[in-house]
Structure 1
Amino acid sequence: MQAVLRRLQLGSGVVLLVYLFLHLLNHALGIWSLELAGRGLVVALWIWRSTPGTITLYGAAALHFALALRTIYARRHWALPLAEWVRLWAGLSLPLLLIRHAVTTRLASSLYGFEPDYERVVTLLLTSGTQGLQLALLAPGWIHGCLGLWFRLRHFPWALRIKPLLVACVVLLPLLSAAGFIRMMRTIEARNTVLAAVDPKLVAHQLTLNAWRHDLVSFYLFLIAGTFVAGQLRNGIERRRLRKSSLSM
């Protein structure tokens, strides 16, 4: 059973890592032009908005999160190496990105007909002042996925041989993505002395979308905190049971 769970964790993690890779690569295309990044976005939307893509992405996210909750609940101690703490912190930040993505693009599209393109999305981020948050949420998820994959690959000699190349890719892609995103922001600001108005469909339903985002984030944090507390209670009960059994012997 443990081997099956590890395979499920690896498989779902790889799906999310591919999603992040394409997301970062798409932003990096903005270094060349906003139009090229827009064409990349069309391809990404075609992949992830198809029925197989939707089931794969959100199914992998739900499975990976469920397995993470199981790990939090089952953990007996929290004396972890630094790399594990970094991976845990980065991994728990990834659903925050997915929640924002699901509400701002997918839910807004399904409920209100908002069709995202980079000019609309970047304008929305600029006018709301959350462009820095968008960049900050991508990097931790990427770090978590790369560390998790490396923990599986480091036992193979070929992986050790190409480790410098892998490290370079892990570091460079988020930097190129940030550079591309900043370039797109500069392009949009240069085209418009005054930023274009945000899509009226989003403005009309912004409070509803914000409520969805707030409720989903609160529920997510509640699940993590509740799972941690339940695990600690279970550990405390087990320790008391062991003490009683040792005293009775």
Structure 2
Amino acid sequence: MRPVLRRLQLGSGVVLLIYLFLHLVNHALGIWSLDLAGRGLTFALWIWHSVPGTILLYGSALLHFALAVRTIYGRRHWALPPAEWIRLWAGLSLPLLLIRHAVATRLAASLYGFEPNYERIVISLISSGTQGLQLALLAPGWIHGCLGVWFRLRDYPAAQRARPALLALLVGLPLLSAVGFLRMKRAVVVMHAVLPAPDPKLLAHQLALDTWRHSLVTLYLTVLVSALLAGLLRNWLERRPRSA
């Protein structure tokens, strides 16, 4: 089963990495114009809000998370090299981004008719003071995915030859994304003498959306901590001297 699980982990991880890549590229397009970034967002929504895209994205997220929980529970020791600690930290932050995305866009659109565009998204983030969090959550997930793919491909000569270009992509794309988002924020502020209130549909259902977000984050953290504690308890029981 181990080779099958590794393939499932890699396949689901690649889907999530493509999602993050498109997300970062969309933000980076804001360097040129808010309109161009909006077209990129429309394309991304067309992919991920379609029935196949929804099944692929959220199915991959659930599968990847389930395999991560299995790995955390099954780990016999935690003496990891620094790169593995970085990948672990970055990967565990990715579901927080997906939860925010699912609640702020997908649930808001499906349940309350919210139609996202970058102007509305930027206004909502500025009003809630979470624009920094949005940027902070994208980069770790991207790093986790890139490191995961690199660990699988690093033994191939072609991957070693492409290492400088891959490193430039790893570092450069999040930086461009941050610059693009800040440009879009500046463009939205310039467009409005007084920044308008967030979309009325979001305001009307903000409490319900916050409840969804808090509940999903609590569930996520509870599952992680439970898997870790259960694994540590099993390891302790296995190492405990048996009485004669």
Task: Give the TM-score, by structure 1 length.
Answer: 0.97
Equivalent position amino acid for 2:230 in 1? A
Q: Counterpart of 1:70?
A: 70
Amino acid at match of 1:29: L
**Aligned counterparts of 1:18 and 1:44: Cα–Cα separation in 2:** 11
Matched, 1:147 2:153: no
Cα distance in 2 for partners of 1:152, 1:206 equals 42
Deviation at 1:36, TM superposition (A): 0.3
Deviations 1:201-220 (A, max 9, x none): 11011011001100100110
Residue aligned with 1:114, SS: coil
SS of structure 2 residue aligned to 1:79: coil
Whole-Å Cα distance in 2 between the matches of residues 215 and 113 of structure 1? 21
After TM superposition, list the pairs within 5 Å mapping 1:44-83 onto structure 2: 44-83=44-83
Distance 2:53 2:212 in 1: 23
AA in 1 matched with 2:149: L
SS for the counterpart of 1:197 is: coil
- Name the larger-Rg structure: 1
Q: C-alpha offsets along residues 101-146 of structure 1, whole Å, 9 cap, x if unaligned? A: 0000000011100010000000000111100000000000000000
Tell me the equivalent position of 2:109.
109
Question: RMSD value over aligned CA atoms?
Answer: 0.8
Q: Which runs of 5+ in 2 are unaligned?
A: none
Instruction: Tell me how far 1:196 sits from its aligned partner.
Output: 1.4
Q: Give the Cα–Cα distance (whole angstroms) in 2 for the partners of residues 163 and 40 of structure 1.
A: 28
1: distance between equivalents of 2:34 and 2:149? 32
Query: What one-letter code is carried by the residue in structure 1 that aligns with 2:81?
Result: P
Q: Which amino acid aligns with 1:127?
A: S
Post-superposition CA distance 1:138-175 (Å, at most 9, x none) = 00000000000000010101100110110001110000
Partner residue in 2 for 1:215: 215
What percentage of aligned pairs have identical amino acids? 71
Partner Cα separation in structure 1 for residue 158 and residue 42 of structure 2: 36
Greater displacement, 173-182 / 193-202: 193-202
> Which residue in the other structure is 1:98 paired with?
98
**1:43-99 deviations in whole A, cap 9, x for unaligned?**
000000000000000000000000000000000000100000000000000000000
d(CA) in 1 for partners of 2:119 and 2:113?
A: 17
Alpha-carbon deviations, 1:212-237, whole Å to 9, x = none?
Answer: 10010011000000000000111111
- Match in the other structure for 1:181: 181
Distance 2:70 2:233 in 1: 15
- What TM-score, normalized by structure 2, do the two folds share? 0.99
The 4+ residue runs of structure 1 with deviation greater than 2 A are none
Instruction: State the alpha-carbon separation in 1 of the partners of residues 197 and 223 from structure 2.
Output: 37
Residues in 2 aligned to 1:91 and 1:134: alpha-carbon distance in whole angstroms: 16
